[in-house]
Amino acid sequence: MPPAPIIIKRVLYSLLVGLLIGAAINELSFLFLRNTARPPRSIELVIPPGTSERVARGEVPPSIPDSMTFVVGDVLVVKNEDVVDHQLGPLWIPSGTSASLALDEVVSYSYECSFQPGNYFGLDVHEPLTTATRLYGILYSGLPLGVMIAIYSLIMPSKEKKAK
């Protein structure tokens, strides 16, 4: 068994390596979460002129998605530039006006919608990714990995230099 200072060094190095690997993995996954990895903001959805005619013909308006993803705290502002009044769930948006919807909780909505041919609009609201969330991810993945590396390094026999 190696002396105590060597064991402590191995454990500390193992924890450091585990945290570095955890940080790399978490930051890589952060790159894929850019849409929800942001602070809350106001997002505008514009209903363009002629939308009601397109919907009546069964066409999807080109600038309106069929669903959107938000973070808690976002505010969806729907601006109606069409000549017809429209509805999105609880919002009634008369022609030439705007209405807003505060998104205060993590939830998936499927709202009745008059500016989509299928008459529904999906809203997914996710928890915002904060610095604390990122640190938790690093700690929750890096520390167990570091402990596993430390245990492995203590179990495996070390090569000791023999004096001649």
What are the boundaries of each domain within the chain?
4-33+130-154, 42-126
Residue 91 contacts residue 45 (beta carbons within 8 Å): no
pLDDT at residue 66, as a whole number = 79
pLDDT at residue 64, as a whole number = 84
Residue 34, pLDDT > 80, answer: no
pLDDT at residue 162, as a whole number = 58
Q: What is the CATH number of domain 42-126?
A: 2.60.40.420
- What is the pTM for the complete model shown? 0.65
36 — pLDDT class (breaks 50, 70, 90): low
For residue 56 the two structure tokens come to 């009546």
Q: Percent of the chain having pLDDT more than 70?
A: 91
Give the C-alpha separation, 46 to 77, whole Å.
8
pLDDT at residue 130, as a whole number = 77
Residue 86, pLDDT > 70, answer: yes
Residue 136 contacts residue 26 (beta carbons within 8 Å): no
Residue 1, pLDDT > 80, answer: no
